[in-house]
A and B are shown apart, each in its own frame.
Chain A
C-alpha cells in the first residue's frame, strides 16, 4: 500500500514521515559510533536476553539520518535534518516473539531493554499455541556493506541543493506554471545488526528522491491541473541529479525517460508546458483500449498487483487486519500451473540490483541478499519469505527480505525490488506505438487503489496520450483504467527491450500495524496490454 498524505502517525512534514530529532546539517556527516563500540553494546543485549531465558536474540543498533528540503515558488519552506539513534532488541522466549527498543544506549539501559523484550515475549506466550520456527541461518561473522555511490548527498552543501530547487521552480514558472513545489529527500541508514547466530553486520545504506509538482490554474473556469516529476527515487548518491545525456531515453511526442540519471530542471520545464496542455486536453471516451505503459507508470501497477500479493505474510493471513490477504494462495502456487500472466511475463524479486532502493548486503535478520523468480513464463513460482515463514513454502532458507524502518520498529517481511524483465526482441517505444490501432500511452504515477486481496485495481497517471492507427494524436484527460490482476497480466502483449528498461520507485511504502515505511524499486521496459477497460473520471459539481 502506498501511503497517502494524511495521518501516518509520528512527526509529519507535509505528509512525509520524519524519524527522529532535527539536527544541524553538519551533524549528518559525523561518523557515529564505530563498529567495535557497537559490537560491545550488541553483546550486552545478546547476553542480557539470554540470561533471562531468550532462545534467540537479534539486535539492531541504528543511526537513521534524513535530510528533507521543501520549497514552493521562490521560497524555502523547510529544511529538515533529522537523526534517530537507538537500539531495537528482538527475542524469542517460550517460543514467542518479544521486542523492545530504547534510545538510551548505555549498557545498563540496553540490558533493561533486553529484559523488557523477554518479559513481553513471556507475557504473550500464554496466548501462543504454535511456537515460532526460524529457518537456519549460519552466522556471517564481522562483515560490512555500503551502497555503491559516487557523491554522498549529505556532503553536498544545503545551499547548492536550494539553488537547484530554485532553478527548478523558476524554470517551471517561466514556462507557465501557476504554482510549483519541489522537494529533495535524502536518507542514510547506518545499521549494525548482531544475532545469537554469530553475525555482526555493519551496513551504510543511501537513498535519494528528487520530486516536484507543478500546477496550472484557469481562474475563469475554476479548473486546475497538476503534473508531478517523472523522477524515480533511487538507491544512489547525489550523482543521480547529474542529468547525464547518456541516461536519457527519447520517447514519442517529445517525452523523455530517465534511467539512472535525472535532469530535474529539464523535467520541470517540460512539466510546466504539459500541465497547461492538460487544462484543455480532450476528455477520454470510456471503453477498451490497448495500453502502452511507461516504466515510470507501470512500476506502481507491478508494486500493487504483483509485489503485494506475493508477500507470504499476506498470503498466510498475518496482514488480514490491515493491508489484507492475497488471491495468490498456496494452492495456486502448488499447482505449478497458475497463469498469473501471459507467457512473456517474467517477474523477479531482487535485493541486489545496483542503484535500486531495495539493494542491501544483508536483510534486517542477517540473511545475505539475493535474486529469485516470482513469476516465470507467466506461472506463479514463488513468494517473498523471511526466516519464520520459509518452512511453510518448503524452503530451507529465508529469501532475505526482512526490514524495519527504524531501530524502534520491529522487523517484518517487506517487499524486495519486484521487476518485470524486458523483452528479448529489439523494440523501442516508437516501434510499439506504431503497432497500436486504438490505445492510450500512459506516463507517471497517478491515483491508485486495489482491493485487499489484489484482484480489482484502478490506476490513473500523470500524462495520457491517445494513439490512433499507430500515431499519437494528442493529449487525453480524465483517464483511469480498471482491471483484474490476472486478466490484466494475461493481456500483456508486447515488451520493449532492455535499452528501454528503467526503475520506478516507492520511497514511502506503508505496511503493518503500527505502520512502517519502506523503499522499493520496480524495473520494467515500456509494455503493452491489450483491451483494458478505461473509465472517465471527470465529474461536474
Chain B
C-alpha cells in the first residue's frame, strides 16, 4: 500500500479499523508522510536524507476511561491488534475527568494545501535547486551553508459518532546563510511554500549574497533605545511568542501574560496599537492550513487580536465547558494584517534607526510580560536621515512583543515567512517600531 493515501483509501481503512471496535467510543487518527532533505555547508553538500512515516492512533473509551495505542503496520491483523490494545489500556486507565467524548460529524471549510509539484520532488530536484544556489555563491567567492526540506503527506480521522476528516498537504522550506570568506559579513534568507514552483533558489540566494556583502565591516554603535525596522523574518520570532500564549486556561488560572489583576483575563482588552489585527484562516491561498484540529473541531476564520483588542483566547473543550464558553481550538495558521508602507518608505521616513533583518536565539525571560531576549544576526544596518548608512555590529535585545506592538509606527505588506525558531510558516508584514530596547553589543558575525 502506498504511504500517502487518497481520501477514499483513507476512509476505507478507517472504516475497517472502527469495525473492530467494541468500546463505548472509538476515534482513529491516521497520517502518512514522505520527507526529503539536502543540507550543504562550506559550498559542499554535507548530509542528505529521505524519510517515510505512517501512523495510526486509536483512542478507545469506556465512560471516562480512555486508552490510546499506535501502530505503523496496516495489515488486518495489526489493525485489529491495535484496537484491542487501546481497549485494554482504556479498561486499565483511571477515569480522566477532563475527557469530553468524541465529536459528531462536522462541516469543514475547503482548504487547498496540496500541490503535486511539491509531492513529486526527487533527490535530483533537490540537487538541482541547491546547484543553482551553489553556483552563485561559488562564483561570488562567498561561502554558503543551506538547507532544503520538503514534505508531502496527509492526515485523516474518523470516529464512532460518524465524524470523518481528511487533509492532504505539501510544504518546502529553504534557508541559506552566505558568509564572506574573511568571516566579516553574513547574510540570510528563508523561504517557505506549499508549492515548490514558487521557490526560486537563485533569487533567494542573491538576497543572502547582497546581505553578506552589505554587512561586512560593521561598526559598533551604543546599545540603547532605537527606532527599528523589522523585516518579517525578524518580526515573526517575537510575535509567535504572543500567539503561543493565547490559551484561556493559563490566563484564567492567573499564570500568563493574558491574566490580569483581580483574577480576570485580558479577553476584550485593548493590549496593542489599533493597527494590529491578527487572525487565522485555513482557506488563505498564500498560507493554506488544515481546516480541522487534531480532535476533529472545525477551524473557522478566527480573529485573535482585532484593532488591538483581544477578541479570542483558545478554549479546550473541557475548559470551555467548565467556564461556560464555546470551545475554540488553537489556530492552524496565523496571519497578521499589514499596512501601506513599503520597506523603502519606512527607511525614508526614519531619522535615526536600525534595520533588523533577522533575530536569533529568542528566549522568554519573564512570562509575566512576555519579555524576550535574543540577538540580531546576519545583516543589521544603521539608518540616518532616511538612508541606510552602514552595517552595525549585532545587538542583544530585551523587549516584549506586547510593548513593541504598542510602539508601532508603520506596517508593510504581509509576506509568507518561516520562523527560524519554530520552523512554522506565517504571513507577517515588515514593521517599524519606536523605542526598541537593545541592551548590549555582540562581536558575533
Which A positions have Cβ atoms within 8 angstroms of B?
Answer: 1, 4-7, 9, 21-24, 75-76, 96-103, 116, 119-120, 123-124, 126-130, 178-179, 215, 217, 219-224, 226, 316-322, 324-325, 327, 408, 410, 412, 447-456, 458, 460, 478, 480, 482, 484, 513-514, 533, 535, 537-541
B116–chain A nearest beta-carbon distance, Å: 22
Check B298 for interface membership: any CB of A closer than 8 A. no
Please state if B396 and A222 are interface contacts (CB–CB under 8 Å).
no
21 CB contacts below 8 A, A to B, read A9-B423, A23-B69, A24-B89, A123-B124, A124-B127, A127-B40, A178-B253, A219-B262, A222-B261, A222-B262, A226-B367, A317-B145, A318-B46, A321-B147, A324-B444, A447-B365, A452-B444, A456-B443, A514-B149, A535-B398, A541-B402
Across the interface, B442 reaches (CB within 8 A) one of A7, A456, A541, namely A456
Please state if A99 and B47 are interface contacts (CB–CB under 8 Å).
yes
Please state if A75 and B97 are interface contacts (CB–CB under 8 Å).
yes
Check B104 for interface membership: any CB of A closer than 8 A. no
With A449-B363, A537-B371 known, 9 other A-B pairs at CB within 8 A are A76-B94, A100-B49, A319-B41, A321-B188, A449-B396, A455-B444, A456-B394, A480-B365, A480-B373
Residues of chain B in range 23-40 having any CB-CB distance to chain A below 8 Å? 37-40
Across the interface, B369 reaches (CB within 8 A) one of A100, A219, A453, A539, namely A539
- The distance in angstroms between the C-alpha atoms of A488 and B371, with both chains bound, is 24
Please state if A537 and B255 are interface contacts (CB–CB under 8 Å).
no
Please state if B68 and A97 are interface contacts (CB–CB under 8 Å).
no
Would A224 and B254 be within 8 Å (CB), given that A9-B423, A102-B52 are in contact?
yes
B24–chain A nearest beta-carbon distance, Å: 20
- Chain B minimum-CB-distance residue to A533: B440
Please state if B421 and A4 are interface contacts (CB–CB under 8 Å).
yes
Would A24 and B37 be within 8 Å (CB), given that A123-B127, A222-B262, A456-B441 are in contact?
no
A228–chain B nearest beta-carbon distance, Å: 13
- The distance in angstroms between the C-alpha atoms of A336 and B244, with both chains bound, is 47
- The distance in angstroms between the C-alpha atoms of A224 and B265, with both chains bound, is 14
Check B296 for interface membership: any CB of A closer than 8 A. no
Across the interface, A451 reaches (CB within 8 A) one of B38, B48, B371, B444, namely B444
- The distance in angstroms between the C-alpha atoms of A207 and B68, with both chains bound, is 25
B420–chain A nearest beta-carbon distance, Å: 8
- The distance in angstroms between the C-alpha atoms of A101 and B35, with both chains bound, is 12
Check B205 for interface membership: any CB of A closer than 8 A. no
- Chain A minimum-CB-distance residue to B55: A21
Specify which chain A residues have a CB less than 8 angstroms from the CB of B396 in the assembled complex.
Answer: 449, 451, 456, 458, 482
Please state if A318 and B444 are interface contacts (CB–CB under 8 Å).
no
Please state if A7 and B419 are interface contacts (CB–CB under 8 Å).
yes
Check B51 for interface membership: any CB of A closer than 8 A. yes
Specify which chain A residues have a CB less than 8 angstroms from the CB of B268 in the assembled complex.
Answer: none
Specify which chain B residues have a CB less than 8 angstroms from the CB of A317 in the assembled complex.
Answer: 41-42, 143, 145, 179
Interface string of B422-445 (1 = CB under 8 A from A): 111000000000000001111111
Please state if B361 and A447 are interface contacts (CB–CB under 8 Å).
no
Please state if A320 and B44 are interface contacts (CB–CB under 8 Å).
no
- The distance in angstroms between the C-alpha atoms of A45 and B101, with both chains bound, is 47
Specify which chain A residues have a CB less than 8 angstroms from the CB of B179 in the assembled complex.
Answer: 317, 320, 325
- The distance in angstroms between the C-alpha atoms of A124 and B39, with both chains bound, is 10
- The distance in angstroms between the C-alpha atoms of A325 and B421, with both chains bound, is 17
- The distance in angstroms between the C-alpha atoms of A452 and B188, with both chains bound, is 13
Would A99 and B360 be within 8 Å (CB), given that A317-B145, A327-B444, A539-B371 are in contact?
no
- The distance in angstroms between the C-alpha atoms of A102 and B52, with both chains bound, is 8
- The distance in angstroms between the C-alpha atoms of A23 and B69, with both chains bound, is 6
- The distance in angstroms between the C-alpha atoms of A5 and B364, with both chains bound, is 10
- The distance in angstroms between the C-alpha atoms of A233 and B260, with both chains bound, is 35
Would A451 and B375 be within 8 Å (CB), given that A24-B69, A127-B130 are in contact?
yes
Please state if A101 and B134 are interface contacts (CB–CB under 8 Å).
no
Residues of chain B in range 354-370 having any CB-CB distance to chain A below 8 Å? 360-369
Please state if A222 and B259 are interface contacts (CB–CB under 8 Å).
yes
Check B374 for interface membership: any CB of A closer than 8 A. yes
Specify which chain A residues have a CB less than 8 angstroms from the CB of B445 in the assembled complex.
Answer: 453
Across the interface, B123 reaches (CB within 8 A) one of A22, A120, A130, A322, namely A120
- The distance in angstroms between the C-alpha atoms of A470 and B88, with both chains bound, is 61
Please give me the 5 A-B residue pairs with the lowest Cβ-Cβ distance, nearest first.
A7-B422, A456-B442, A222-B261, A320-B145, A453-B444
Check B206 for interface membership: any CB of A closer than 8 A. no
Please state if B423 and A449 are interface contacts (CB–CB under 8 Å).
no
Residues of chain B in range 400-428 having any CB-CB distance to chain A below 8 Å? 400, 402-403, 419, 421-424
Please state if A453 and B262 are interface contacts (CB–CB under 8 Å).
no
How many CB-defined contacts (below 8 Å) exist between A and B?
Answer: 228
Check B72 for interface membership: any CB of A closer than 8 A. yes
Please state if A128 and B44 are interface contacts (CB–CB under 8 Å).
yes
Specify which chain B residues have a CB less than 8 angstroms from the CB of A449 in the assembled complex.
Answer: 361-363, 373-375, 396
- The distance in angstroms between the C-alpha atoms of A99 and B36, with both chains bound, is 11
Check B45 for interface membership: any CB of A closer than 8 A. yes
Please state if B261 and A221 are interface contacts (CB–CB under 8 Å).
yes
Residues of chain B in range 107-153 having any CB-CB distance to chain A below 8 Å? 123-124, 127, 130-131, 134, 143, 145-147, 149
Check B175 for interface membership: any CB of A closer than 8 A. yes
- Chain A minimum-CB-distance residue to B244: A6
Check B321 for interface membership: any CB of A closer than 8 A. no
B360–chain A nearest beta-carbon distance, Å: 6
Check B286 for interface membership: any CB of A closer than 8 A. no
Please state if A97 and B261 are interface contacts (CB–CB under 8 Å).
no
Please state if B365 and A24 are interface contacts (CB–CB under 8 Å).
no
- The distance in angstroms between the C-alpha atoms of A217 and B419, with both chains bound, is 32
- Chain A minimum-CB-distance residue to B71: A21
- The distance in angstroms between the C-alpha atoms of A166 and B94, with both chains bound, is 14
B202–chain A nearest beta-carbon distance, Å: 15
- Chain B minimum-CB-distance residue to A457: B396
Check B297 for interface membership: any CB of A closer than 8 A. no
Please state if A451 and B360 are interface contacts (CB–CB under 8 Å).
yes
B138–chain A nearest beta-carbon distance, Å: 9
Specify which chain A residues have a CB less than 8 angstroms from the CB of B42 in the assembled complex.
Answer: 316-318
Please state if A127 and B421 are interface contacts (CB–CB under 8 Å).
no
Please state if A484 and B443 are interface contacts (CB–CB under 8 Å).
yes
Specify which chain A residues have a CB less than 8 angstroms from the CB of B261 in the assembled complex.
Answer: 219-222
Most chain-A CB neighbours within 10 Å: which of B98, B259, B440?
B440
- Chain B minimum-CB-distance residue to A83: B70
- Chain B minimum-CB-distance residue to A88: B49
Interface string of B168-209 (1 = CB under 8 A from A): 000000011101000100101000000000000000000000
Most chain-B CB neighbours within 10 Å: which of A21, A320, A537?
A320
Specify which chain A residues have a CB less than 8 angstroms from the CB of B371 in the assembled complex.
Answer: 537, 539
Check B324 for interface membership: any CB of A closer than 8 A. no
Please state if A126 and B145 are interface contacts (CB–CB under 8 Å).
no
Specify which chain A residues have a CB less than 8 angstroms from the CB of B41 in the assembled complex.
Answer: 317-321
Specify which chain A residues have a CB less than 8 angstroms from the CB of B374 in the assembled complex.
Answer: 449
Please state if B253 and A179 are interface contacts (CB–CB under 8 Å).
yes
Please state if A116 and B50 are interface contacts (CB–CB under 8 Å).
yes
- The distance in angstroms between the C-alpha atoms of A451 and B444, with both chains bound, is 7
- The distance in angstroms between the C-alpha atoms of A533 and B368, with both chains bound, is 23
Specify which chain A residues have a CB less than 8 angstroms from the CB of B188 in the assembled complex.
Answer: 321
Across the interface, A322 reaches (CB within 8 A) one of B47, B147, B254, namely B147
- The distance in angstroms between the C-alpha atoms of A119 and B444, with both chains bound, is 39
Please state if A321 and B177 are interface contacts (CB–CB under 8 Å).
yes
A282–chain B nearest beta-carbon distance, Å: 16
A168–chain B nearest beta-carbon distance, Å: 17
B365–chain A nearest beta-carbon distance, Å: 5
Please state if A75 and B98 are interface contacts (CB–CB under 8 Å).
yes
Specify which chain A residues have a CB less than 8 angstroms from the CB of B368 in the assembled complex.
Answer: 223-224
Please state if A541 and B365 are interface contacts (CB–CB under 8 Å).
no
A99–chain B nearest beta-carbon distance, Å: 5
B443–chain A nearest beta-carbon distance, Å: 5
Please state if B443 and A327 are interface contacts (CB–CB under 8 Å).
yes
